[in-house]
Structure 1
């Protein structure tokens, strides 16, 4: 743009509003993208009329396939970026395994992702049995590779790699099992995230030799050369380039229109100001046109770059929780291991996942859990075990999770989850209790396997939460009577000789 200085270009903010200046005026003057007609407009006031649909509030648990070509090297998340960063383990692995990134780049990893053991029907059976009520497919990660039959991008899974419509195959399998279907987009940050691919080694013997990201033949994968690096500073995740904003809109609208997802996830804040708001308005209006009511969910994060408008979407917290019971429905996104297959991975155990799920649900949240997949589409042994253990636990205890709402307090016990992203733990004990309610009944979930009697202080006689006398206590999955006593200090529940499930027990409590 003529007359815009580099300082103004790099300093423009993509937060709640763009800073005053020539760039801001140029973006503001650009026409908004075309969207489906309806009651939602790309304004904060309009989007703030959003109400979370009941299906999402009832679902509580979803499974995510955070899966793509970056699983091939088996080195975990962000491989495509860090293979271009000398000194990082991903760079060292790439050099030793594939060669120098000037000669063998990420574009050459993509054909290695053949997904030859990918069976979405068999996997979806496992996910549904494990208690998932919605499933989310990766749409596009920061690596700028579309996992659907993209109309606007040649780097897609139908044209190369597995040469099949990954998103479409997941959607068909989920729909057959009556699971709600979602897609995730991480494309907004891709432009700046790919910055290292345009660089070169700073030392011999490849000093100054460009990586393949600098080759103009592949600019549509790595993006055109630019001077907007991705850093941890506010405003750096998302580019200020209006042409990229338009491309992002076109591709994500294509994803939404082609697969009509019930849920769309953005990895970060809502990108690109009015362009991003236009996409969300389009998602909502399209949902109303199809269903006669707003049935769609858009999730984004109150962190990093981009916008977050409380009430206009569902807040997503990556690998963490919110503090206490949130009045609005929200979501934790996490993984049982690394985000992409990692040979050195440390996996969450089934009891950790179950305890985290109960903690999240007690606070009016949902858990979206990535279950790690190998590059070929098969499950690692740890993911196999997790799904089997979840299926056994949910077969007995699902009624305390699905369709529930929070009680007056979320729980009690010695372990307090620290609020915020990237602070998850999962190290709970049996004395940690979490509460959910449904149809006038209260569920008390122990976040560990009780070794003796369970004492719940919040249910002592005359407690302020519900002073009614407790009439009955039932241990889900246990056929016999459960002995209990409600004293002035606690509700004390005796443990039967045998517990019906491992890891966590659920007591259904009825009041007089």
Structure 2
């Protein structure tokens, strides 16, 4: 995932075409990946992928929980550790030198070796997530650090051979199945090519100035080490010239779509990525597949992403008696691409109801576990999460929430408390979330009047504050749910439900058996402030329409 506070300067719209190989001057598009795997209805073209229909189970599910967990959680220093630990003078660099040694001698591979996942209990965690209301569960298959977290046939650097010596994805998959939750996998490794370019650097000052970091080591350098027999280039993928401006840590932001001077991935790199992902799909048959990429992996400099999308749809259809039940996600999609794959919005949400199903992905802290967030009590509260969820669902979206996992495989007591609070709210109010659809409008109140557009991948989260004056709507049959985002302090005034706009038979408050006093006027519906609200987080009114 991207660093939370960063605004990415990327184009929000790539042309709708069969395969568009656009590149900056001097770039040569990587050759297409070799076609492999099952055949089927879908071909690796946008026109073919446009036949996709989002399955109803996903539209009904609304809420998923994600374990964005890998070796970068071991240092407990937050996001993008494997890149930033090679940035001389950064906090991660300083921490790494103090705890592992200088990156010329102890690079990221030492973090991988240090990661043991010794207290990991996937069954316990997934059961907790389900109790908190999750209707699907996601695990990370790899990150930009390029370590595969399963018994990968095409990547020797995987968690069965190194680090935990466990098939992490298989463990999560069993837990999801045992808890009867659809299983999703997130794939982030397509960007390792440029993301790990910092490992080619060296210090500019100090006693080791000019001594290269470990990003260009080869298999022969491993003699007598714990990694003897493994090729570091399989992990770091740095046997190539640097991208333009790579000495600037932020240069990657404007190169995320493989333009603006980004070094073009080789055909071998693209083909290997394709094979790794197809292997992942074929081994685990995920119900959901998420790519941390603009549009699709390696798009538009390779057709790998289109080939993977076609393979995923065909494979899923073949394993579901001819019915396509899988969900594939991409970011920064234009309107035509949103018909082919589901739009994912990172740490944000669109301003209005969307015609097609979409998803927000966010986190209660950093994507990777960060101890200082725990120590300072800076996690999102259950109230924050529920308000986001209600707003997202009112706009035809789903929420995928990451709960950061520590290196040892556990979550901390503050995270557990957030989940328990979410579970308590869900126990009373879940009917207003699951199996619903948007109403005519998504809401009323001050937050609906504030401009807050998404930026590139998203990144507009938290910029609009919700109060008990804000209401969100969604429906299920002839029932309209009106959710007040807080404990009501006055009578509830709903302008959209005057006599001329709706005929109301009855109103209840979820979590209460008391009789409500309400009056429908020509221009509004007034519900008397409850004597005892069912929740301080959000109060749901169940409105029966004629």
Aligned length: 492
CA-atom RMSD in angstroms: 2.1
Change in CA separation of 1:21 and 1:501 when aligned onto 2, cut-off 3 Å:
closer
Aligned match of 2:238: 224
Deviations along 1:117-142, whole A, 9 cap, x unmatched? 11111111111111110101000000
C-alpha displacement of 1:451: 2.5
Instruction: Confirm or deny: 8 A CA contact 1:302 1:308 kept in the other structure.
Output: no
Name the structure 2 match of 1:323: 351
Paired residue for 1:487? 521
Equivalent residue number for residue 112 of structure 1:
114
Aligned partner of 1:435 among 473, 495, 500:
473
- 2:20 is aligned to 17
Q: Which residue of 2 is the match for residue 379 of structure 1?
A: 411
Match of 1:299 among 329, 333, 337: 329
Which residue of 234, 254, 265 maps to 2:279?
254
Structure 2 vs 1, CA of residues 264 and 307 (structure 1 numbering), >3 Å: closer, same or farther? Answer: farther
2:382 is aligned with 1:361: no
How far does the alpha carbon of each residue in 1:241-281 deviate from its partner, in whole angstroms, 9 at most, with x for none?
Answer: 11111011000111111000000000012023422111110
Q: How far 1:354 sits from its partner (Å)? A: 0.3
CA–CA separation in structure 1 for the residues paired with 2:468 and 2:110: 49
- Say if 2:261 is the partner of 1:240: no
Tell me whether 1:42 sits opposite 2:9 in the alignment. no
State the secondary structure of the residue aligned to 1:415. helix
> Residues 156 and 239 from structure 1, CA distance in 2 versus in 1: closer, same or farther, beyond 3 angstroms?
same
- 2:342 aligns to what? 314
- Residue 169 of structure 1 deviates from its aligned partner by 0.9
Gap change, CA 1:24 and 1:286, over 3 Å in 2: farther
The answer to whether the Cα contact below 8 Å between 2:481 and 2:540 also exists between their aligned partners in 1 is yes
Q: Say whether residues 1:278 and 2:316 are aligned partners.
A: no
Three-state SS of the structure 1 residue aligned to 2:475 is strand
CA displacement, residues 406-443 of structure 1 (integer Å, 9 cap, x when unaligned)? 00100011124723111101631111111111122100
Inter-partner Cα distance in structure 1 for 2:532 and 2:71: 46
CA distance in 1, matches of 2:263, 2:177: 33
1:419 matched to 2:453? The reply is: yes
Instruction: Choose the corresponding residue for 1:173, options 172, 175, 197.
Output: 175
Select which of 435, 447, 450 maps to 1:403: 435
Q: Assess if the C-alpha contact under 8 Å between 1:396 and 1:501 holds in 2.
A: no
Aligned equivalent of 1:101: 103
* Alpha-carbon separation, structure 1, partners of 2:490 and 2:58: 36
**Would you say the 8 A contact 2:316–2:325 is kept in 1?**
yes
Q: Relative to structure 2, which stretch is displaced further, 214-223 or 40-49?
A: 214-223
Q: CA deviation at 1:330?
A: 0.3
1:503 is aligned to: 537
Alignment pair present for 1:340 and 2:368:
yes
Residues 256 and 283 in structure 1, CA contact (< 8 A), matched pair in contact too = yes
Unpaired segments ≥5 residues, structure 1: 1-13
Cα distance in 2, alignment partners of residues 187 and 386 from structure 1: 30
2:194 match: secondary structure: helix
Moved more, 220-229 or 345-354: 220-229
Relative contact order, higher structure (CA 8 A, sep 6+): 2
What secondary structure sits across from 1:267 in the alignment? strand
Q: What SS is found at the alignment partner of 1:407?
A: coil
CA gap of 1:243–1:23, structure 2 versus 1, over 3 A, is: farther
Pairwise CA distance, 1:21: 11
Alignment of 1:174-193 (within 5 A): 174-193=176-195
Match of 1:264 in 2: 289
CA distance in 2: counterparts of 1:25 and 1:110, whole angstroms: 33
Is the 1:157–1:165 Cα contact (8 Å) retained in structure 2? yes
SS at match of 1:331: strand
TM-score by length of 1: 0.92
Q: Kindly provide the CA deviation profile for residues 353-405 of structure 1, in whole angstroms up to 9, marking residues without a partner as x.
A: 10000000000000000012211121122211111011111111111111110
Moved more, 255-264 or 413-422: 413-422
Contact 1:483 1:493 in 2 (8 A): yes
Tell me how far 1:190 sits from its aligned partner. 1.1
TM-score (norm 2): 0.86
Counterpart of 1:85 in 2: which secondary structure? Answer: coil
- Asked whether the equivalents of residues 71 and 374 of structure 1 are also in contact (C-alpha less than 8 Å), the reply is yes
Instruction: Please tell me whether the aligned partners of residues 35 and 279 of structure 1 are also in contact (alpha carbons under 8 angstroms).
Output: no
Alpha-carbon distance in 1 for matches of 2:84, 2:29: 34
Contact 1:335 1:369 in 2 (8 A): yes
